[in-house]
Structure 1
């Protein structure tokens, strides 16, 4: 005795009906009726785009192990529902096996850097292999994406260190080039400064000579002084100006000793007097420092 049984099929799905274990028809979305137990709804297939993520662990040509994540987007063909339902036992498992096969035969031929650059080629190879194998089974491979290539953490650290070393080397070279430019420019500035200083000294000496010549002419005009006397006076004046400038300099350690051509004893006495004056000045400075120190305490 057969009893009518009701069922529903959702939108974007199709139902597979068997009668006494044999395929009879496909059931479209909506309400359907079968005669139980003669007929039976054995399964449903969705026409929606589905995706599976496959993680593949393999090594590259330079013996670096990495994990690749391949996302496969597929869809059941409406005209091949029978093949999609009855030809394959486990479509997800079989798609995964094909992805493993393609990735583990392609990645070992590429070095690590080349593998990152060849993601599009890898995805295209996987898609072509799956399309050839599964189109006849009622599945359309819409897209395959290499979403991740993940080597070991130690390999990542090594790659980062290599990149850091290259950048550090470039930075050192640029820093050295900058120092070179600074030194060259500093040397050029020093040379220019010395040149200008020489020009200034030359002009200064010329002005001094011109001034001395004018002074000699003015001084000797209307007097009985000889030119030599005037020159001696001017040179003596410059001598005293020089002593004043040197003596007024900070931390001056220069000692001028009067010199006489008549006797060597005068030179000796002059040296002793200069040494005594230097020691006396040093004692005064020491006493002054001690007094200031005590006053602060």
Structure 2
């Protein structure tokens, strides 16, 4: 009988001894209690405890953890918006006792503080300000959480506002406003392009007219120079200026009729083509020049007479 009991006792003893050996993973802390009282914290590696008397009350993760909290609140301009706040936190290695015993559920505690801060900050801002100042909201959440959670052994590494989701109708209105603004800018660019085209076209037409006028002036200048040279040639052979002018007018008259006759696609044009036509035309031109000179002379005399009268009046006044 004793031969059977001894191996059993030895086997049980080995089991009891092995139950006092346990392993703690990296970035993890184990809480050891004896009869319900805290004994100590065991860090990573192979650890020992008194079998039967000691037990592992729990384990705490020392890695950086992330908690996503979605908060729905209202902005200053009465727009309901949902914000997603990502809180990155970590248990302080020297405060494992506080983190394990002071808080039953740290996630719920962090969530409550996030709700409190966001619902205190966002109602002070308009919707556009919420998008522009999301970093300010994140800083306010981190500051409040650090003050509240440090006494519980938690360190808030970082807080991020990862999503801002307004009501669907508000987003649709914002999209319409954005589209209208872009269409306005596009219309302004198109109008500016049309204006540039119109200005460029007007400048081109003005330059064309200027060059055309310059060409006509040059043409007339050369014609006048040619006529002058023709009159000089005729004067050298004994023909006076009046006869030379009549001869040139008659010659140009018939040259014009000849050029019109050579043009097959020209429309019907009625011109005087009698032998006296050139002479009549010259006489009318001379009469016009004489009348113009007479009118100019009379206007000059009238202006001189008016000037003398004004001088006399000025002298009498003195």
TM-score (norm 2): 0.68
Residue 69 of structure 1 pairs with residue 84 of structure 2: yes
Query: Which residue in 2 is equivalent to 1:237?
Result: 251
What is the distance in 2 between the residues matched to 1:175 and 1:184?
14
- Choose 1 or 2 for highest CA Rg: 2
* Equivalent residue for 1:144, pick from 156, 159, 162: 159
Give the Cα–Cα distance (whole angstroms) in 1 for the partners of residues 117 and 50 of structure 2: 46
Q: Which runs of 5+ in 1 are unaligned?
A: 261-297
Q: Which moved more, 1:229-238 or 1:60-69?
A: 229-238
Residue from 168, 175, 195 that aligns with 1:180: 195
Larger helix fraction of residues: 2
| CA offsets 1:72-127 (integer angstroms, 9 cap, x no match) | 11111222222211111111122112112211221122112211221221111101
In structure 1, what is the equivalent of residue 66 of structure 2? 51
Tell me the residue number matched to 1:285.
Answer: none
Structure-1-length-normalised TM-score: 0.73
2:57 aligned residue (36, 42, 47):
42
One of 93, 105, 116 as aligned partner of 2:131: 116
Query: What is the CA–CA distance in structure 2 between the aligned matches of 1:150 and 1:85, rounded to whole Å?
Result: 35
SS of 2:104's equivalent?
coil
* Equivalent in the alignment of 1:93: 108
For 2:36, which of 2, 18, 21 is the aligned residue?
21
Please report how far the alpha carbon of residue 130 of structure 1 lies from its aligned counterpart in structure 2 after TM superposition.
0.8
Given candidates 215, 218, 222, the residue that maps to 2:230 is 215
* Aligned residues: CA RMSD: 3.2
Counterpart contact for 2:71–2:115, Cα < 8 Å: yes
Q: Distance in 2 between matches of 1:247 and 1:241?
A: 10
Change (3 A) 1:180 1:244: farther
Unpaired stretches in structure 2, ≥5 consecutive residues: 1-11, 275-318
> How far apart are the structure 2 equivalents of 1:249 and 1:67?
86
1:263-284 CA-partner distances (Å, limit 9, x unpaired): xxxxxxxxxxxxxxxxxxxxxx
**Cα offset for 1:34?**
3.8
- The CA distance in 1 between the partners of 2:264 and 2:169, in whole Å, is 65
- TM-superposed CA distance for 1:241, in Å, is 3.8
Deviations 1:237-294 (A, max 9, x none): 323443455566686434325588xxxxxxxxxxxxxxxxxxxxxxxxxxxxxxxxxx
SS of alignment partner, residue 24 of structure 1: strand
Output aligned runs, 1:209-288, within 5 Å: 209-219=224-234, 221-222=236-237, 228=242, 230-243=244-257, 252-256=266-270
Residues 1:184 and 1:13: Cα distance change in structure 2 (over 3 Å): closer
Secondary structure class of the residue paired with 2:223: helix
Secondary structure of 1:62 counterpart: coil
> CA separation in 2, counterparts of 1:240 and 1:26?
128
CA deviation digits over 1:155-197, x for unaligned, max 9? 4454344334334333433443444344344434444443443
SS at 1:15 equivalent: strand
State which drifts further: 41-50 or 26-35: 26-35
Structure 2 CA distance for aligned equivalents of residues 181 and 29 of structure 1 = 76
Aligned: 1:106 with 2:96: no
The alignment of Structure 1 onto Structure 2 pairs a total of residues equal to 259
